[in-house]
């Protein structure tokens, strides 16, 4: 079953989401939500989905970057974005620390801003302290595309969308992005927007 994905304009996408207790995390309703969010993300071929995007104002997101998606990219793009396969996992009540690092500019899209893409500056390295799907504490250190995904999903839990951070002159339809910019490097993009 695929959940409805809320589109920009829905107030829930702009709200601060609530944290979950360990007891709540282990409840059947949250465990079912995790399964449904996983299936929804996979059906839509995404690498992350945050609970507010499916109408649940809670600090929970699912992340997965399957090997098929990574290998479908041209090698030079995969390497430049530092995109590596990430197994399915859940982050709950995350605290994001941006590690001192340079900002990188790559195109991002979002299920909740359907049909568009833009360049978004993000930190290259992050640390995330959170709970996992059974409420155990985790510390995630991430770089490259995974760090970008974490920043994008954690933003959703605080009512922030990539359009708040994008280089606005690079905002374009997804169709145009796929046709013109999808396989371009940072060097190709630099100075164009
Ligand atoms: Zn998003």
Return the closest-CA partner of residue 150 out of 174, 125, 176. Answer: 125
Distance 101 CA to ligand 1 centre (A): 23
Distance 153 CA to ligand 1 centre (A): 6
Q: Which of 80, 82, 153, 175 is catalytic?
A: 153
Return the closest-CA partner of residue 122 out of 155, 147, 86. Answer: 147
Mean pLDDT computed over every residue of the chain:
95
Task: Tell whether the torsion through CA atoms of 47, 50, 55 and 60 is positive or negative.
Answer: positive
pLDDT in tens, 127-137: 999 999 999 99
Q: Mean pLDDT lowest for which of 36-50, 96-110, 154-168?
A: 96-110
Angstrom distances, CA of residue 1 to CA of 37, 59, 128: 9, 22, 30
Query: Is 147 in contact with 124 (CB distance < 8 Å)?
Result: yes
The arithmetic mean of pLDDT across residues 161-171, rounded, is: 97
Find tokens 């280089």 and name the residue: 167
- Active-site residue flag, 24: no
- SS3 string, 142-157, reads EEHHHHHHHHHHHHHC
Q: What angle do CA 96, 92, 61 make, to 5 degrees?
A: 90
Q: Which two tokens stand for residue 77?
A: 């793009």
pLDDT in tens, 84-119: 999 999 999 999 999 887 899 999 999 999 999 999
Alpha helices in 26-66 (DSSP H): 28-43
Q: Which two tokens stand for residue 185?
A: 């490097």
Distance 49 CA to ligand 1 centre (A): 7
What is the C-alpha radius of gyration for the chain, rounded to an integer number of angstroms?
16
% of the chain surpassing 90 pLDDT: 88
Q: Quick one: pLDDT at residue 191?
A: 87
pLDDT surpassing 90 at residue 187 = no
pLDDT in tens, 46-75: 999 999 999 999 999 999 999 998 998 889
Q: Quick one: pLDDT at residue 1?
A: 63
pLDDT in tens, 19-29: 999 999 999 99
């Amino acid at each position: 079953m695929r959940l409805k994905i809320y589109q920009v304009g829905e107030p829930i996408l702009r709200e601060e989401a609530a944290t979950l207790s360990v007891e709540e995390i282990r409840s059947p309703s949250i465990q079912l939500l995790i399964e449904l969010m996983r299936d929804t993300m996979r059906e839509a071929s995404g690498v992350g989905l945050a609970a507010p995007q499916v109408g649940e104002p809670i600090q929970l997101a699912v992340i997965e970057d399957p090997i098929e998606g990574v290998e479908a990219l041209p090698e030079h793009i995969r390497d430049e974005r530092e995109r590596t396969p990430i197994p399915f996992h859940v982050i709950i009540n995350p605290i994001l620390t941006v590690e001192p690092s340079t900002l990188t500019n790559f195109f991002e899209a979002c299920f909740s801003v359907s049909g568009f893409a833009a360049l978004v500056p993000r930190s290259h390295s992050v640390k995330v302290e959170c709970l996992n799907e059974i409420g155990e504490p985790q510390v995630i250190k991430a770089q490259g595309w995974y760090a970008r995904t974490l920043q994008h999903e954690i933003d959703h839990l605080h009512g922030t969308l990539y359009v708040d951070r994008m280089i606005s002159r690079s905002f374009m339809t997804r169709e145009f992005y796929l046709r013109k910019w999808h396989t371009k490097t940072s060097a190709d993009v630099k100075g164009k927007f």
